[in-house]
Chains A and B, each alone.
Chain A
Amino acid sequence: MSGKEYRTITDVKGPLVFLNKTEPVSYGEIVQLMLSNGSIKNGQVLDTSDDQVIVQVFEGTASVDRQTGVKFLGDVFKLPVSKGLIGRILDGAGRPRDGGPDIVADDMADIIGAAINPYSRQSPESFIQTGISAIDACTSLVRGQKLPIFSASGLPHNDIALQIARQAKLVGSDDDFVVVFCAMGITAEEYNFFVHDLERTGALENSALFVNLADDPAVERLITPRLALTAAEYLAFEHDYHVLVIYTDMTNYCESLRQIGAAREEVPGRRGYPGYMYTDLAMLYERAGLVKGKKGSITQFPILTMPGDDITHPIPDLSGYITEGQIVISRELHQKGIYPPINVLPSLSRLMNAGIGDGKTREDHKSVSDQLYAAYAQGKELRGLVAIVGEDALNERDLQLLKFADIFEHQFLRQGRDEDRSISEGTLDLAWDLLSNIDTKYLVRLDQKWIDKYHPNEKSGKEEE
């Protein structure tokens, strides 16, 4: 494209600009708007036909008028990528925000990102130890997984994400993670909290940050995660890094998506969110994984706040159908003063079975995890019963399970913000200790051979003999 400038805007609606034009413009092409006050805004083509083009303006359409010049740049959105991204802070559109120089590009990468051929993927199966018992024992994370944190306003999801970023490591390996952090519409306060913590632990030098704050243009949020993932892909698949992508808050991203949909007068799906939101989210989440013949990996930790603590809201719901499990933060546990307040019951890691067991974590891991779940679930259910009929109506087994639920919350879930528990001695042995509060005959999920080998009473019993 010659860089011809059009002054043919007909309509401006929310973040969208409609204009007439004469020459063909590509779908997805990048657009510059030259405002009469001399400032420049960027946008992207959403719809193009012989006579009309619809442009989505990233910085919002404030001050755009019919005289605004529009220039089509003849290319789709690309991010300059290089190893120099590590240690940098960029804004939501990929420009330096830390006062540093522009990124010297080794390559220009299309930010939409092509789908990975399912045949070319490698199964994720390397256990990542986060040092948080609730996650390591019950919803184990593996490299290449996408595991969102389902939280809600007022809960310490940021602390948990940071603790994971700090502590995550492969057992028996020195490989460190590079953190790509993507902020979408979070407050300056939250942003400072993240940056401060990354600085405090020295992790900032090993991170690339893409930041769109609450007062930055909402539409820009639609490209911020794509920039972050493009950087992650480049680092992982061109430079063999293991990349941990944390993005927060997906809820803000989806709000922006809805905003664009409404401005285009699209037929809305559930609760006004566009019908293609599933596909759109998938195009972000599915950029996690490992591929054949490449050493690097992308592991994703999206954080989303569930509006009204409602897990069936379209945002957590569609996410849950795409991601490989979820870590659910509980307001109830938080109010009891338990950190991290992870409710293991609705939490799940779909790739857990591939990453645990003999040679990876420990042979008894699966059994222990199942037993913890079962006992805690039943214990919690009994609390409801006790509220009605009192403890006297319970039999011996139920009493033990009821007590176990408390022990589990206070001794297993609860841990310090800097407490890094190893999987074997820190987490699984602790689990056995706590399970020994329940009579062995009620521990039906545990194979006898593990009871013989790991149960504290059985072990000591044997020694006495």
Chain B
Amino acid sequence: MSNENGLIYRISGPVVTAVGISPRMYEVVRVGDEGLMGEVIELHGDQSVIQVYEETSGISPGEPVIRTGQTLSVQLGPGLLTQIYDGIQRPLPKLEETMGVFITRGVDADGLDLEREWEFNATVKKGDEVSSGHVIGTVQETETIEHRVMVPPNVSGKVKSVKSGTFNIKETVCVLEDGSEIAMMQEWPVRHPRPFVQKYAPDVPLITGQRILDFLFPLAKGGTAGIPGPFGSGKTVTQQQLAKWSDAQIVVYIGCGERGNEMTEVLDEFPHLIDPNTNKPLMNRTVMIANTSNMPVAAREASVYTGITIAEYFRDMGYNVALMADSTSRWAEAMREISSRLEEMPGEEGYPAYLSSRLAEFYERAGRVQTLAGSDGSVSVIGAVSPPGGDISEPVSQGTLRIVKVFWGLDAGLARQRHFPAINWLNSYSLYPQALDQWYRENIAPDFPEVRTEISTLLQIESELQEIVQLVGSDALPIDQQLTLEVARMIREFFLQQNAFHDVDTFSDLDLQYHMAKAILTFQEEAKKAIAGGGQLEDVVNVPARTDLMRGRFEKGYAERISDLVSEMSKQIDASMEAN
């Protein structure tokens, strides 16, 4: 490596220009006397432009800049799960240990604990032919997750020796004939997607337990979704609900440029939450990345790449991974900030012209794939977007919508009415139902897609009727349309609204969702019959059993009771007709 040391020429916020070195693009360098971490983002004649991941006050021109020869990489291996990192994979608990509650600078920390020993069980034997991505052994990383140790990229050959036992992650556990030594830890540059054999079309839903999402606008495993919404509309709560309840095996949660107290809430809450699928703490399957809004902006830019690389690594083991990024707008703003310091020619609203291609590259790292080892794994990406003023015509929202297949549009008006999740059912969409319908028919109910269509049609009709009601009042409508309005109200208040803070209501499995939707349709059918038979709409709507059915969803054991509640409601509606 030539010219390993150079000098600082200029400093402007997080952007530092160095002279006297000729590094490669995206190489990591050490800046200044304190050795702050930075990444080369532009080469310009003799000058190298560096984005620095730490605060630059007090640094002067003339201080040294040292090449490392490495690109920005993450350490991958046992010890990732349950960890919480900053944007460049420094463990936050470790930082607290070394520098107290405030994040000062110039402190380096390994992403993984290099000393800790793990119980490694070899799954290959001497003489086996292995290549990159092949699993050579396993480690029980947490109670619920088995870590599969893989052959690192660009390594292959015949196993010469392999040993089970207790090792730290840097010790060699396997040697190949050609002399390559394999340890449990490997490194990967974050800006490069990890390799796989091929991408499959997604055909299994990612079940989130959130009724409006699963039922009306489902996301497939390996799919992409965007959640744009103005502030206060519940983006973060929705993201956290997904992190808690989605049936992925691994969850990577990126808090990108968001609030410190919100991250703390997640950190306090997750260890106490129980995964409904395994009955073990959710934390066991979670990796968190927290780069709050006041932490260095360059590290924020890197945080989404750190996150998705970790997600891909678990995908390569054959797991279904869900990645939440909250919020991609803050990531885009970090790009804008750095771009403006570089005095680049701006695109729309000051964002760099490469904004949409960066967004596309990021979302494209999602997918359900055949891994190098031949198994099935997926990364689903759910990105929150925070459009200024809630106006989604801005560049980040538009760049996102062009790529993602699911759009969960949060609505300030609904949030104001305390209708949560405040997802607008009229403008949200999912392009996955067709691919998933077969799965629903086989696993939930043969008529699942039809029930969904009926529910969304009712909501559509309601919105049209509402326009008339706005003009003439609901009493002026014919009775069958008044009933439709009642049914739609029931869909909204009983089915679409879901209380994230309520022990029971916070999660509904697909079976229950189906039965609740059916219950609404049953009500509609019975009510129609009753009205045709001379019943009064008022009486039908106010049968006590319907209130019981609706309030019952807050009580434990609702799934077992719902069919009884529905038959009781039908009975009472019948009776109300006879009373007339």
* Most B CB within 10 A of own CB, among A76, A279, A320: A279
Q: Which of A23-31, A63-71, A186-194, A402-410 contacts B (4 or more CB under 8 A)?
A: A23-31
Q: How far is the CB of A403 from chain B (nearest CB, A)?
A: 17
> Cβ of A48 and Cβ of B60 under 8 Å apart?
yes
Q: How far is the CA of A447 from the CA of B555 in the complex (A)?
A: 11
Q: Which of A11-19, A158-166, A173-181, A321-329 contacts B (4 or more CB under 8 A)?
A: A321-329
B412 proximity list for chain A (CB < 8 A): 346
* B475 sits at the interface (CB 8 A): yes
* Most B CB within 10 A of own CB, among A116, A124, A291, A311: A116
B window 1-60: CB within 8 A of A: 9-13, 17, 55-60
* A4 sits at the interface (CB 8 A): no
Q: How far is the CA of A370 from the CA of B260 in the complex (A)?
A: 26
Q: Which of A83-91, A264-272, A332-340 contacts B (4 or more CB under 8 A)?
A: A264-272
> Cβ of A117 and Cβ of B92 under 8 Å apart?
yes
Q: Which of A98-106, A204-212, A214-222, A387-395 contacts B (4 or more CB under 8 A)?
A: A387-395
Q: Which of A127-135, A246-254, A347-355 contacts B (4 or more CB under 8 A)?
A: A347-355
Bitwise, B346-365 to A at CB < 8 A (1) or not (0) is: 10011000000000000000
* Most B CB within 10 A of own CB, among A26, A326, A366, A388: A26
* B101 nearest CB neighbor, chain A only: A120
The A contact surface, by secondary structure, is mixed
> Cβ of A28 and Cβ of B58 under 8 Å apart?
yes
Q: How far is the CB of A58 from chain B (nearest CB, A)?
A: 16
* A283 sits at the interface (CB 8 A): yes
* A154 sits at the interface (CB 8 A): no
* B71 sits at the interface (CB 8 A): no
* B418 sits at the interface (CB 8 A): yes
Q: Do A291 and B231 form a contact, CB below 8 Å, given A76-B57, A145-B261, A269-B350?
A: no
Q: How far is the CA of A378 from the CA of B103 in the complex (A)?
A: 47
Q: How far is the CA of A49 from the CA of B60 in the complex (A)?
A: 8
Q: Do A279 and B297 form a contact, CB below 8 Å, given A116-B102, A267-B350, A395-B475?
A: yes
Q: Which of B148-156, B273-281, B465-473 contacts A (4 or more CB under 8 A)?
A: B465-473
* A92 sits at the interface (CB 8 A): no
* B294 sits at the interface (CB 8 A): yes
> Cβ of A270 and Cβ of B416 under 8 Å apart?
no
B window 262-276: CB within 8 A of A: 262-265, 267-268
* B235 nearest CB neighbor, chain A only: A321
Q: Do A389 and B232 form a contact, CB below 8 Å, given A48-B61, A115-B102, A278-B330?
A: no
> Cβ of B261 and Cβ of A123 under 8 Å apart?
yes
> Cβ of B388 and Cβ of A317 under 8 Å apart?
yes
* Most B CB within 10 A of own CB, among A294, A325, A326, A389: A389
B59 proximity list for chain A (CB < 8 A): 26-27
> Cβ of A26 and Cβ of B60 under 8 Å apart?
yes
> Cβ of A322 and Cβ of B333 under 8 Å apart?
no
A320 proximity list for chain B (CB < 8 A): 230-232
* A289 sits at the interface (CB 8 A): yes
B window 436-458: CB within 8 A of A: none
* B542 sits at the interface (CB 8 A): yes
> Cβ of B333 and Cβ of A24 under 8 Å apart?
no
Q: How far is the CB of B58 from chain A (nearest CB, A)?
A: 5
Q: Do A115 and B294 form a contact, CB below 8 Å, given A49-B9, A389-B472?
A: yes
B window 463-507: CB within 8 A of A: 470-476, 493, 501
> Cβ of A370 and Cβ of B292 under 8 Å apart?
no
Bitwise, B319-337 to A at CB < 8 A (1) or not (0) is: 0000000000010011011
* A450 sits at the interface (CB 8 A): no
> Cβ of B264 and Cβ of A112 under 8 Å apart?
no
* A10 sits at the interface (CB 8 A): no
> Cβ of B416 and Cβ of A50 under 8 Å apart?
no
* B567 sits at the interface (CB 8 A): no
* B565 sits at the interface (CB 8 A): no
* A62 sits at the interface (CB 8 A): no
* B126 sits at the interface (CB 8 A): no
> Cβ of A24 and Cβ of B62 under 8 Å apart?
yes
Q: How far is the CA of A321 from the CA of B290 in the complex (A)?
A: 16
A113 proximity list for chain B (CB < 8 A): 102
B window 384-399: CB within 8 A of A: 386, 388-391
> Cβ of A116 and Cβ of B103 under 8 Å apart?
yes
B388 touches which of A268, A286, A314, A351 (Cβ 8 Å): A314
Q: How far is the CB of A391 from chain B (nearest CB, A)?
A: 10
A286 touches which of B260, B333, B340 (Cβ 8 Å): B260
Bitwise, B537-555 to A at CB < 8 A (1) or not (0) is: 0000010000100110010
Q: How far is the CB of B392 from chain A (nearest CB, A)?
A: 12
A370 proximity list for chain B (CB < 8 A): 418
B472 touches which of A393, A395, A441 (Cβ 8 Å): A393
Q: Do A275 and B336 form a contact, CB below 8 Å, given A117-B96, A293-B101?
A: yes
> Cβ of A28 and Cβ of B418 under 8 Å apart?
no
> Cβ of A393 and Cβ of B475 under 8 Å apart?
yes
> Cβ of A119 and Cβ of B84 under 8 Å apart?
yes
Q: How far is the CA of A192 from the CA of B412 in the complex (A)?
A: 38
* B259 sits at the interface (CB 8 A): yes
> Cβ of A289 and Cβ of B261 under 8 Å apart?
yes
Q: How far is the CA of A351 from the CA of B95 in the complex (A)?
A: 26
> Cβ of B333 and Cβ of A278 under 8 Å apart?
yes
Q: How far is the CA of A326 from the CA of B476 in the complex (A)?
A: 40
Q: How far is the CA of A441 from the CA of B104 in the complex (A)?
A: 57
* B300 nearest CB neighbor, chain A only: A279
> Cβ of B103 and Cβ of A377 under 8 Å apart?
no
> Cβ of B92 and Cβ of A118 under 8 Å apart?
yes
Q: How far is the CB of B369 from chain A (nearest CB, A)?
A: 32
A50 touches which of B13, B61, B550 (Cβ 8 Å): B61
* A294 nearest CB neighbor, chain B only: B101
Q: How far is the CA of A48 from the CA of B63 in the complex (A)?
A: 12
> Cβ of B259 and Cβ of A393 under 8 Å apart?
no
Q: How far is the CA of A396 from the CA of B257 in the complex (A)?
A: 48
* A282 sits at the interface (CB 8 A): yes
Q: How far is the CA of A120 from the CA of B98 in the complex (A)?
A: 12
B17 touches which of A49, A279, A283 (Cβ 8 Å): A49
> Cβ of A388 and Cβ of B471 under 8 Å apart?
yes
> Cβ of A123 and Cβ of B265 under 8 Å apart?
yes
* A444 sits at the interface (CB 8 A): yes
> Cβ of B92 and Cβ of A119 under 8 Å apart?
yes
Q: Do A279 and B11 form a contact, CB below 8 Å, given A24-B62, A292-B101, A351-B261?
A: no
* B91 nearest CB neighbor, chain A only: A119
* A384 nearest CB neighbor, chain B only: B470
Q: How far is the CB of A330 from chain B (nearest CB, A)?
A: 13
* B295 sits at the interface (CB 8 A): yes
> Cβ of A276 and Cβ of B101 under 8 Å apart?
no
> Cβ of A118 and Cβ of B474 under 8 Å apart?
no
B95 proximity list for chain A (CB < 8 A): 117, 119
A377 touches which of B60, B330, B417, B473 (Cβ 8 Å): B417
Q: How far is the CA of A445 from the CA of B502 in the complex (A)?
A: 13
A366 proximity list for chain B (CB < 8 A): 501
* B93 sits at the interface (CB 8 A): yes
* B293 sits at the interface (CB 8 A): yes
> Cβ of A118 and Cβ of B350 under 8 Å apart?
no
* A411 sits at the interface (CB 8 A): no
Q: How far is the CA of A91 from the CA of B436 in the complex (A)?
A: 65
The 10 closest A-B pairs by CB, nearest first: A312-B389, A393-B473, A28-B57, A49-B10, A282-B293, A119-B92, A114-B102, A286-B294, A120-B101, A24-B60
In the assembled complex, 7 residue pairs joining A and B whose CB atoms fall closer than 8 Å, in A order, are: A47-B12, A269-B350, A282-B294, A292-B101, A321-B231, A324-B259, A395-B475
Name 19 extra pairs, CB < 8 A, besides A116-B103, A279-B257. A24-B62, A28-B56, A48-B60, A114-B104, A117-B102, A118-B292, A119-B290, A120-B100, A121-B263, A275-B333, A279-B297, A312-B390, A318-B388, A325-B232, A350-B232, A350-B262, A388-B471, A389-B473, A444-B493
Interface residues of A (CB under 8 A from B): 24-29, 46-50, 76, 110, 112-124, 144-145, 237, 266-270, 274-276, 278-279, 282-283, 285-289, 291-294, 311-314, 317-318, 320-322, 324-326, 345-346, 348, 350-351, 353-354, 366, 370, 373-374, 377-378, 385, 388-389, 393-395, 441, 444-445, 447-448
